[in-house]
Structure 1
């Protein structure tokens, strides 16, 4: 659009918000309307006229309103982008177009409310204190893992007589109403329950002791439910039909068992060593992830800038759209979802902006050489080079990799700035099973 045809007035109207009043002069609008009418005239088909020969007067009478609307829409799109370029604005969400005014022989006037990236200063980050857990793997952790492997490898054998602690019941469960009437659609077939290890609790398991194959028995199960007053616990009555009883025969814990579990070892000691390495690697990765989350949280909390409402709403809109793809419409409460995820949306958006500014200020942005290094590292680890190059030649996937590398660089830089407080813990403490901290 010709620069002399557009007038722009800019006004700060809120936190990180600018309102543009955009005027496209009457002559420009008249030319655009006339051009659009003549273009439509060339392809208009009306009974009694040859194609392209419909008089302009009739085109204006029949289609003028529709054509006028399209011209206004196209002109707003073009002039809005021109205004952003001239004002050097980079909006973080689509502009809010409002107060559109246009009459024949008059200019087009409208307002565009533009949300822009918050302008903020990076906080001082060399005083941050962040905890990192050093997880100790104990012999009992290894023993527990070996026992779980034995359980998985156990063989089920038929059990005669009554169920005892450790027995496995293959059964059906039918939910009953308070009067003992079966509820339609509340039947669970062919489930397996191990007494003493069921997810329903000790009280439930105790009710199963002594049951025999082909026996029906009513049992009570405590369950959590939600109503308008909040969460509550209630007892639900079920009728169990025991189809069969089994006991589990566990393999001996010896070298043969070790070789059956891991073909790369030839002894039980070798299996124990691999189990220890597995837990050391897993807890190290999880500890690093937790440390990075605490580090980012500390960085975000060190910045108090305010995000534009439109930026938050746009982020939540995308979260809602993704959630709706995975959830039935009847089950999805959009308002509740937005309220529940608003705080995390703000946290994520702040981290994105802080990370971007840090990367620019400290020259940490990733580049093509970083991508090449990542590809070579993957190939050295056994990845197919042709396949991985095809993957990262896709623009979206390449951009994801560049973003991941930049974030890693920023986290490494932040780690060097922060005071890292290391704390020794055992696996019970690390996974929340107990509150035990190992002594220094």
Structure 2
């Protein structure tokens, strides 16, 4: 779809919007004449015009053509010279028209899973983990502690890579998710220390860009801490979730899990119906 649009009136509209906040020597803010706004802020006027009006014009053209796009239209080959019509192309991926046949009595089974007490307890356990408190320790780090640190990766020459800087990371020592080289490098660390760590990541490491790599880090130890989980009781329900009792919290968790299960069943049924419909209409 090729479009040519006369734009002077629309450029004036953008310039009037910019005029409300424009400022030039000799004029109060918002009082700069329109022709001076067009002259001194030409680049901004044109940029705001392209960003605001072009998508709208493209959308209106698609609507007039009564097209049903599968994704938002793509504007390309935009040609814009002040005083000349604006020209650009709009590429539209149109949804295909499909006539479904044999769509009655499609088989679908609802496979419901009962929300049991174990599922509720798992969620409550996650809530305890997420609401844990951390107490500062005045001793070197050991397994079972949590190390609060800042880190930055180093390149081959030992220079810090600013884009890799991370602050306030908590590393739980003694857990299976922590890479052995990282844990060993932090054992015995004390608050205020800086350490250089060389970490070999296993080939099956979850972060693909690190898998199988050896990476050096500079870390600054901020605190050695002990992770403390709250007791699962009425006080926990009141202080963390503003509920009256643990039973009320359990009830809320169960209702939430049952709602998620209903959504899962509905999506599963809809997926099965869609698959069968596609099979019958290749």
2:209 to 218, 225, 237: 225
Larger Rg: 1
Q: Which structure carries more helix by proportion?
A: 1
Measure the CA separation in 1 of the matches of 2:252 and 2:67.
53
Distance apart, 1:286 and its partner CA: 2.8
8 Å CA contact 1:221, 1:238 repeated in 2: no
2:165 to 185, 188, 208: 188
8 Å CA contact 2:131, 2:230 repeated in 1: yes
Does residue 171 in structure 1 map to residue 149 in structure 2? Answer: yes
1:41-440 equivalences in 2 (<5 Å): 121-126=99-104, 128-178=106-156, 181-195=158-172, 201-203=178-180, 206-207=183-184, 208-215=186-193, 216-220=195-199, 222=201, 223-225=207-209, 233-265=212-244, 267-304=245-282
Instruction: Number of aligned residue pairs: give it.
Output: 189
Change in 2 beyond 3 A, CA 1:233/1:271: same
8 Å CA contact 1:167, 1:247 repeated in 2: yes
Measure the CA separation in 1 of the matches of 2:178 and 2:269.
34
| Cα shift readout 1:261-284 (whole Å, capped 9, x = no counterpart) | 34343x322322221111111222
8 Å CA contact 2:182, 2:199 repeated in 1: no
8 Å CA contact 2:182, 2:197 repeated in 1: no
Distance apart, 1:292 and its partner CA: 1.8
Task: Output the TM-score relative to the length of structure 2.
Answer: 0.54
8 Å CA contact 1:171, 1:192 repeated in 2: yes
Q: Which runs of 5+ in 1 are unaligned?
A: 1-88, 95-114, 227-231, 305-440
Distance apart, 1:158 and its partner CA: 0.8
Distance apart, 1:218 and its partner CA: 0.6
Task: Output the TM-score relative to the length of structure 1.
Answer: 0.37
Mean Cα deviation higher: 128-137 or 138-147: 128-137
Measure the CA separation in 1 of the matches of 2:125 and 2:117.
12
| Cα shift readout 1:399-436 (whole Å, capped 9, x = no counterpart) | xxxxxxxxxxxxxxxxxxxxxxxxxxxxxxxxxxxxxx
Measure the CA separation in 2 of the matches of 1:286 and 1:204.
40
